[in-house]
């Protein structure tokens, strides 16, 4: 058996792989980060090697969060066609919408156009959140809602018109007039499919 050439008895020669070479710029960056952040780690009771892994984990969580905020709506918007049809057909309840317009009209009749427009915005957001809680979250802004793919085109238009006027009155501190109120009211009524009184 020892003479059989197809059986190997001698150990294979060991191939030594050279250790991985870290680029000098990366080492320099590591030394600079250690100089900058090691005092914070010591203040928190951690050594630099432990603190650097904590920072790497936090950076990874931050990157994942940013990716989720950017790509999440695109990934979640992959609904079957039936779901798209149901979304396109959704409008606020007409009785609720008519009551909202009536409440806002009372404010506008007193010349409080900015408050009337803001009421339209707040209550329409509440209507969406009550009917479709997965569409928006507590931090959603009116601008985000105005480009929400799940809303029908009339809804996106209404939110854009209303949000523009609310931002102008609340952040630019400019008074709204009757034309502003009329534009917001008509946009919301078109979205809610409510016939306005003349």
- The pLDDT assigned to 78 comes to 55
Round to whole Å and give the CA distance between 176 and 185.
13
Question: How far, rounded to the nearest angstrom, does the alpha carbon of residue 68 sit from its chain's CA centroid?
Answer: 8
Tell whether the model's pLDDT for residue 63 goes beyond 90: yes
The whole-chain average pLDDT of the chain stands at: 79
Give residue 39's pLDDT: 79
Confidence of residue 50 (pLDDT cuts 50, 70, 90): confident
What is the pTM (predicted TM-score) of this model?
0.52
| Residues 184, 118: Cα–Cα separation, whole Å | 10
Residue recorded with tokens 């600079």: 32
Question: In this predicted model, what pLDDT tens digit does every residue of 68-105 receive, in sequence order?
Answer: 888 877 776 555 444 444 444 577 788 888 888 888 88
On whether the CB atoms of residues 48 and 31 are closer than 8 A, the answer is no
pLDDT of 197? 56
Q: What CA–CA distance (Å, rounded) separates 154 from 119?
A: 19
Residue percentage of the chain with pLDDT more than 70: 85
Q: What is the pLDDT of residue 125?
A: 84
Please determine, for residue 157, whether its predicted confidence score (pLDDT) is greater than 80: yes
- Long-range contacts for 149-153 (Cβ within 8 Å, ≥24 apart)? 149/73, 149/77, 150/77, 150/87, 151/87, 152/87, 152/88, 152/89, 152/90, 152/91, 152/191
Stronger pLDDT, 84 or 46, i.e. the higher one:
46
Residues 119 and 184 sit within 8 Å (Cβ to Cβ): no
Residue-level pLDDT at 86: 46
pLDDT band at 1; cut points 50, 70, 90 = low
């Amino acid at each position: 058996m020892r003479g059989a050439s197809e059986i190997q008895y001698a150990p294979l020669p060991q191939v030594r792989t050279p250790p991985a070479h870290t680029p000098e710029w990366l080492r320099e960056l590591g030394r600079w980060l250690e100089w900058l952040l090691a005092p914070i780690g010591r203040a928190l009771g951690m050594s630099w090697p432990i603190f650097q892994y904590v920072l790497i984990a936090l950076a990874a969580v931050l990157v994942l969060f940013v990716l989720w905020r950017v790509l999440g709506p695109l990934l979640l918007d992959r609904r079957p066609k039936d779901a798209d049809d149901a979304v396109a057909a959704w409008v606020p309840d007409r009785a609720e919408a008519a009551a909202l317009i009536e409440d806002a009209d009372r404010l506008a009749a007193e010349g409080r156009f900015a408050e009337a427009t803001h009421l339209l915005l707040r209550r329409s957001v509440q209507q969406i959140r009550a009917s479709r809680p997965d569409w928006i979250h507590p931090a959603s802004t009116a601008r985000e809602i105005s480009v929400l793919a799940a809303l029908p085109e009339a809804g996106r238009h209404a939110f854009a018109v209303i949000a523009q006027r609310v931002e102008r009155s609340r952040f630019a501190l400019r008074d709204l007039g009757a034309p502003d109120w009329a534009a917001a009211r008509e946009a919301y009524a078109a979205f809610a499919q409510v016939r306005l009184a003349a």
